[in-house]
């Protein structure tokens, strides 16, 4: 699609489909997990729902759960896909592979800091939200430099990275975003649109209708 010079550019920040670890409440971070059967159905439904936005390309995290989700979108929309490690999920250090209950039991002070939106190094030797914002924004600036007026690009990523990136693009304080914006659900997305004063959030936690996921044989 050739961009319409009179139209705004748009970005879709899409979280990947569900994995078994998501369902079990496990901190995945940068562990590389496959989509579950439900996750695959979610990805196919999201892909169909994003066709009307007419994306021109998909850029995905190189972790499998996001990459496969992005591949479904690219196939449904008939556009190319590339991968980039800068869209990976936050590295959660020692928390990776632990359930939320285990983190609260073994790291009670950090679990409390997390609830208040404080930024700190996850799991002792993982990343901070600020570091995630820096690496993801660098990738997005490259994407934006190649976008024409009126074009839409899908960024297939992860929950923390997606929220962090969206907040950074609209200039929202990361602690405020952590407290005020609900976490992105599996295969839900943020639609951002560029205006005269910068980027704004048009839709938050948008997703495919539940019945379209059920039609693939998985209860929504």
Answer yes or no: pTM beyond 0.85. yes
Of the CA atoms within 13 Å of residue 46, those in its CB half-sphere come to 34
Complete domains list, the chain, with CATH:
10-214 (3.40.50.1240)
Of the CA atoms within 13 Å of residue 211, those in its CB half-sphere come to 0
Residues with Cβ < 8 Å from 25, sequence gap 6 or more? 99, 100, 101
Catalytic positions are 16, 89
Instruction: Tell me, letter by letter, the H, E, C secondary structure of 25-58.
Output: CECCCCCCCCCCHHHHHHHHHHHHHHHHHCCCEE
pLDDT of the chain along its 220 residues, tens only?
444 545 899 999 999 999 999 999 999 999 999 999 999 999 999 999 999 999 999 999 999 999 999 999 999 999 999 999 999 999 999 999 999 999 999 999 999 999 999 999 999 999 999 999 999 999 999 999 999 999 999 999 999 999 999 999 999 999 999 999 989 999 999 999 999 999 999 999 999 988 787 655 554 4
Give the pLDDT score at 4.
53
Of 23, 26, 47, 25, which Cα lies nearest the Cα of 35?
A: 23
């Amino acid at each position: 699609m050739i961009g319409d010079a009179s139209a705004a550019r748009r970005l879709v920040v899409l979280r990947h489909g569900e994995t078994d670890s998501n369902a079990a409440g496990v901190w995945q971070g940068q562990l590389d997990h496959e989509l579950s059967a439900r996750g695959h159905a979610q990805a196919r439904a999201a892909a169909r729902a994003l066709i009307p936005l007419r994306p021109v390309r998909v850029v995905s995290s190189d972790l499998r759960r996001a990459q496969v989700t992005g591949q479904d979108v690219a196939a449904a929309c008939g556009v190319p896909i590339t991968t980039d490690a800068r869209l990976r999920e936050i590295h959660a250090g020692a928390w990776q592979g632990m359930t939320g209950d285990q983190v609260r039991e073994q790291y009670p002070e950090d679990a409390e800091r997390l609830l208040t939106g404080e930024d700190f190094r996850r799991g002792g030797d993982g990343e901070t939200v600020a570091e995630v914002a820096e690496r993801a924004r660098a990738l997005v600036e490259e994407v934006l430099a190649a976008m024409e007026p009126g074009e839409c690009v899908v960024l297939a990523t992860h929950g923390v990275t997606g929220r962090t990136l969206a907040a950074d693009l609209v200039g929202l304080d990361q602690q405020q975003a952590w407290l005020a914006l609900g976490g992105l659900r599996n295969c839900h997305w943020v639609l951002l649109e560029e205006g005269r004063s910068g980027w704004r959030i048009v839709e938050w936690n948008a997703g495919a209708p539940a019945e379209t996921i059920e039609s693939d044989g998985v209860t929504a």
